[in-house]
Amino acid sequence: MISPEIIRRYPFSAGLSHDEIVTLAQAAEELTVDAGHVFFREGDELCCIHLIVEGAVAVVTEMPAPAAAGDVAGQLTGKMAMEELVISTLGTGDVFSWSAVVPPYLATAGAKAMIPSRVVAFDAKKLLKAFESDCRFGYLMLQKAAQIARDRLRDLRIESLSTLRMG
C-alpha cells in the first residue's frame, strides 16, 4: 500500500472519490527502476497498471531490422533479426499498461524505462475485484483506460502522418 496522497497529485485520479483513491492506494506499491528496465514486452500477460511518479518510459514495439528484409529463412523460422522502435515517450503523471484490466490482459506494446524512474504499480487483480464490488468505480476507471487508448491512437496517427510528410 502507498499513501493515497501520492495518487491524488495526478490527473489520473480526477473524478474519483476519496474511498476510490484509497482503494487504488491499497492495491499499489511504489517501484524504483534503473534506465533500461523492461516492465514488459508486447504479448506478455500484464499484472499491473503503472503510473509514472518520476522519470520517463518508452512504449516500444519490435520490427524486423532493415538488414533482415530479405531474410527469407528468418521469416520462415520466425528467427528474424529485430530492432526496437519507440512508439511514444511517457513522463511524470502518465499511465501505461492499461491492458492489465482489459481482456485478454495482454500487452499491446512493450514498456521500458528510459532513465531512472519511480512508478506506482497497481495490482490489476485487486483492481478488477474492486471494480466488481463497485461498478461505478469500474466504469470510471475503464473510461480512463479508453481515454488513454484514444489519446495514444491520436498521437500515433499524428506521428505517422508527420513521418510520411518528411519522407
Show the DSSP H helices in the chain as ranges. Answer: 4-8, 18-26, 72-77, 124-133, 135-166
C-alpha cell at 100: 492489465
Instruction: Return the CATH number of the domain spanning residue range 4-159.
Output: 2.60.120.10
Q: How buried is 126 (Cβ within 10 angstroms: 0-12 exposed, 13-18 middle, 19+ buried)?
A: middle
At 99-149, the pLDDT tens digits run 999 999 999 999 999 999 999 999 999 999 999 999 999 999 999 999 988
**DSSP 8-state secondary structure symbol assigned to residue 25:** H
Which of 32-36, 49-53, 144-148, 155-159 is predicted least confidently?
155-159
pLDDT given for residue 64 in this prediction: 81
Averaged confidence pLDDT in the chain: 90
30 - beta bridge partners?
Answer: 120
pLDDT band at 93 (very low <50, low <70, confident <90, very high): very high
25 in Cβ contact with 5 (< 8 Å): no
